[in-house]
Amino acid sequence: MKDFIVDYHVREKLKNFYLRKGRWLIHLLYWAYVYILGQVRAEEPVWAWEGFLLNFLFDNWLIIVFYYLYCLVLVPAYLKKERYGRFWTVQAIAFIVLPVADMYFQLHFQPYVPKQYQDYDFRDFHFRSHVGQFYYLYFMNFLLFSTFLFLMETAESLTNYREEQEAEEVKLQHEKMLLQTNIDPAFVMHALDGLSALSANSDTHTPDAVIRFSDILRYRLYRSNEARVLLADEIAQVRNLFELQNSLYGPCCILETEGDTTGKFIPTLAMVNIAEPICNTFQPGHEWQLIMYLLIEDKQLHIAIEWNAALAHKESVLAAIRQNLTHFYPEESAVLDTELMDYNYSIRISLPMHYTAT
């Protein structure tokens, strides 16, 4: 059933391919050229019903059958589906039979056509010489038609390539926007549970924790539409995240920085989306600690993370961090190295710096 559905969609896509999207106009222009050229050679008016019927259709109807059998049946039904044996077999039969049929058609019916429209001299009919003339005519038409279709295919391929590139860019932009605006439900639930516990215990850290939590949400929601933010603002949000974690669960996160942040930019949420997946792994009652060192250089931001946790599935967290970096740095300009020793996970990340917001 699946193969039938796929085959149906393929047939629908290929059916009348060379006539859709305005391509029929190219066919119309081509045949108009053939018709006008025939009228000029016969020294007849450009538009005349007699010329159209006897000079154009009479001479070309089997060539037209040959052409449209080729481009509307053989190419989509066989060539495009890689059924090359059938394609060339039917094409060879058509090429052998139709020129001969056309020759005998002209031989028997041309005497009934006005003399100015008679293109062939059959007074001294000789099969080999005359059939060779028709084979040459059909062969040249085949080359011309194949070139004609090839140009159509090339134009379509270029259009499809541009559309695919644009669609891929739009997809990446939407994925990046979703990544930036997507708030991890685990983070929200853990934070709300922690804030509820602080409030129930009338903890003095409750007001600061609520402010920090709201600031984190506000930053993700309202700054995520910016391509880049000041490095100082991004570091401030990571610090907010760490301080919230410390308020909820006690001192477990440390952030240390070295270097000048002035005039330096970074993709929005690039650092927050590194720290947040790790923070979400906190489990009350289990040993857990996160230390992040930032070394800020002129062109690079070096991040060293020491993460100590009794967590069996650390690789899934690392995979999330890699995915985030891929979206923020699609050119593979970000470098990530890891080292695991017992419960301690060492992560080293190098990110390129920017000096403009766009």
What pLDDT shows up at residue 256?
94
pLDDT in tens, 198-239: 888 888 878 888 888 888 888 887 887 788 889 999 999 999
Please state the rounded mean pLDDT for residues 311-338. Answer: 77
Distance in angstroms (rounded) separating the CA atoms of residues 305 and 294 = 9
- Residue 181 reports pLDDT greater than 50: yes
pTM across the whole model: 0.52
Residue 353 near residue 262 (C-beta atoms within 8 A): no
**Fold of the CATH domain 183-352:** Heat Shock Protein 90 (3.30.565)
- Residue 177 reports pLDDT greater than 60: no
Domain boundaries, the chain: 2-178, 183-352
18-19-23-27 Cα dihedral, nearest 10 degrees: 90
Considering the chain, what is the average pLDDT of its residues? Answer: 80
Please state the rounded mean pLDDT for residues 111-139. Answer: 83
Beta bridge partners of 336: 349
Of 267, 240, 282, nearest in space to 324 by CA: 267
pLDDT band (50, 70, 90) for residue 167 = low
What pLDDT shows up at residue 303?
93
CA 192 to chain centroid, in Å, comes to 40
What pLDDT shows up at residue 2?
44
